[in-house]
Chains A and B, each alone.
Chain A
């Protein structure tokens, strides 16, 4: 359905203006010139909507919920006008056999053409029994769907890096998509949940240019994860001047001082939170008084905890020690190496690493 079908209706015209504005914002976020906006709009409203299969594994549905909060495009426009959301367990009308039919109809009809979104970690321990849908394990479902997808977007920290269930001792052997899939392009949109703008920007980029955006070595698109939070935080000036909140509710906390001493993980976290902000109300956790918890970084549940203790090795102005930059590189370097090892074993070959095998490599 094209957007112009309703050009006589005032209400929907207003929505169209909102939509064009949204496309402009997305274009700006992606670093696309204004001349490309008509192409973006065309891609977003083309007659044949690109089919999407959205798989849920070990997850909390928070990533899906984040899309309910998006405004440009809003969820109604996204799923009814931009993409064809053919399989998504949280919103689809069909259930049971009828739902399975929807999945297989799309797999058969659009093999090699559909976009796959994965939300949730994939349990690999004990033959994957910790997550089953329609009698099949998450691993088996991913093994069937992944090779047929044109590309995979792993949304959220669970699908990217295993997420909370992969925190020590990772009782179910949970892993991210890139740990298991090779042969199909996978892009990572981490965050718990990620800002929907980061996911939607990736989708619109892909639909416009037919390729995924440029990423860092963790598979995260640069337009959303290219900058360190600490480097574009509105409280940075307070950090540089040595003004810190010491306790929630104290004078410094009430006046926007730096939250580093209350545990903020901004110095080691890469994300657009300070600039993109959340819920269209100009906020992010730091703006209302809580430190960043580092949720876009691999294994943050283990590496960034305790959340209310300050990061070690961050150079505070006027005090000697390691610099912020060195600390960040060290952590990322370790994580990138771990991803590289996992990526070597592919689901395409139906070889799953760590399925209840003894001597499984420890995650940490």
Chain B
């Protein structure tokens, strides 16, 4: 018998997401992903100063703070063909990587661990055995009996108070929860520790960017972080070494706690490795820029189709026509008027809310397509694209992580297991580990360049008369991001964001091809349709961000929303 389940709200994500699924014989047979909020930020941008756009677009998301800021300045710079000073590139790279460290830590522990970790079960763990388990996978010095005992007591106190707070009505004791009590206690202890380490990453980011969430140190043409080793009113060596120390501490947590924890959960839930692949076309953007023209990168971009690593094609610059000419969005199943498919420069949309229609329109999210195909984006896409291109650092780091999973699981697993719910977690942890190393590398590059006497941070933009078009790309923590801008006489004429969570959470397209969330749920086991924990597992593995995913429109006047074709 087919049973229909609706999960609304999906929690432990950014934003407002509803998931519907049909369940038959204990498995999901069909699914719908529905974004439930629209704000119209791109409409608000029209007619404004292009230099201001990044401050607006950054507010698309406070979880993915920094990412829409970076993509936006790059879009305007691309339209003006403006080169960026090396110092500014390095500072942006440190901003990008340090923010990603915080974001990936928070995603795993705060937003998704409770899908796999039974908090209540941790109460019955033996702290001595817990320390022994933790010691077998990591040399982290805080994995002590005393620490685990203290955490257990703290947890017991919360339970005894009768006020479970955020842990109330969780999926404790659910049949899909399989970890031994000791693994649960270890994870709960690391959940609390993660809160401290993610904060250290934000402090490193703060020193460079003035504050966060929502950094305030970018500008079209570079950055506004003043550099001067001989001033107390600029980024000097005292400040720079503080940044380095904080990154080093976070790197330790990522490489000795986060990555081993993910490997342990992957191994202890090895029955779950076959689930959640969904769409196996992948798209990633190149990033961690190494030159002023944005043509050399430390992280690779490209595409893979049908899960076949042999199909890999690179995206190799911020001007690459392979990307520019292949992105479209379709609105057949989104709450906008019509069923068109258009390139971002050409989009024109009118909202048309219909409520949830299974076979009609059911979301505020559009369906982005690359060369006509749905694409999965995110750390997994970038790791696979790099793996397929022979990127040595990625191959080394991915193989190390798979080796750790294999040793804990007692069976050998290869890169093929990455096409899965758990694979997305493993790839994210690997990327975090690489970014921890890369952020220190770019810190060195910045300091070396300052040492040469170069304090340049900014090339002033000038806006010519007439129309310019540009796109800015960025590999955000949730994956491939692009902003598309049309500038007319120095003002914004059209602005579109094609966002990671729109790629992943978007609906079916005109041909009925489902988006990655929808495809990944099909075949997922469901033990209890009233407690659909397994759906959360797969959805959370993408790291949904719905504020990011929903955007766009083109209103004229207040009552009717009408569209301007470009």
Interface residue B336 (Cβ < 8 Å from any Cβ of A): no
| B121 contacts chain A at the CB level, 8 A cutoff | no
| Contact A71 B199, beta carbon cutoff 8 Å | yes
* Contact, CB under 8 Å: B49 / A305: yes
Least CB distance, B13 to chain A, in whole angstroms: 7
- Asked if residues A249 and B458 are in contact (CB atoms below 8 Å), the reply is yes
Which B residues between 184 and 236 are near A, CB-CB below 8 angstroms?
A: 192, 195-196, 198-199, 202-203, 205-214, 216-217, 219, 221-228, 231-235
**Does B56 touch A at the CB level, under 8 Å?**
yes
CB pair A129–B12 under 8 Å, yes or no, is no
The answer to whether A68 and B202 touch across the interface, beta carbons within 8 angstroms, is yes
Decide if B460 touches A93 in the complex (CB within 8 Å). Answer: no
A224 to chain B, nearest CB (A): 15
Q: Tell me the smallest distance from the CB of A170 to a CB of chain B, in Å.
A: 8
Say what secondary structure dominates the interface of chain A: loop
A49: interface (CB < 8 Å): yes
Most buried by B among A62, A76, A167: A62
Q: Known: A1-B160, A284-B211, A290-B210. Is A247-B458 also a contact (CB below 8 A)?
A: yes
Q: Would A281 and B168 count as touching, CB distance under 8 A?
A: no
Q: Are A95 and B161 in contact (CB under 8 A)?
A: no
A168 sits at the interface (CB 8 A):
yes
* CB of A278 closer than 8 Å to a CB of B: yes
Are A6 and B39 touching (Cβ within 8 A)? no
A38-62 vs B, Cβ < 8 Å mask (1 yes, 0 no): 0000000001110100001111111
Q: Is A6 a contact of B166 with CB atoms below 8 Å?
A: no
| Count, chain A residues at interface, CB 8 A | 100
Q: Is the CB of B219 within 8 A of A281?
A: no
B-facing residues in A162-213 (Cβ within 8 Å): 163-165, 167-172, 174, 192-193, 195
Segment at the interface with A among B276-284, B309-317, B553-561: B553-561
- CB of A36 within 8 Å of the partner chain: no
B234 — which chain A residues lie within 8 A by C-beta? 254-256, 289
B44 touches A76 (CB 8 A): no
Closest chain-A Cβ to B517's Cβ sits at a distance in Å of 14
Known: A101-B169, A169-B43, A290-B217. Is A96-B7 also a contact (CB below 8 A)?
Answer: yes
Q: From B59-67, B129-137, B288-296, B383-391, give the one contacting chain A.
A: B59-67
B interface, CB within 8 angstroms of A: 6-16, 36-41, 43-44, 48-49, 51-52, 55-56, 59-63, 65, 106, 110-111, 114, 119, 146-147, 150, 153-154, 157-158, 160-161, 163, 165-171, 192, 195-196, 198-199, 202-203, 205-214, 216-217, 219, 221-228, 231-235, 242, 353, 455-458, 460, 530-532, 536, 547, 553, 555, 557-559, 561
Pairs of residues from A and B, 4 with the lowest C-beta to C-beta distance, nearest first? A62-B62, A256-B233, A279-B206, A93-B170
Residues of chain A touching chain B, judged by Cβ–Cβ distance below 8 Å, are 1, 5-6, 9, 11-12, 47-49, 51, 56-66, 68-69, 71, 74-76, 79-80, 83-86, 88-99, 101-102, 105, 126, 129-135, 163-165, 167-172, 174, 192-193, 195, 234-235, 247-249, 253-256, 278-281, 283-290, 293, 301, 305-309, 358, 360, 362
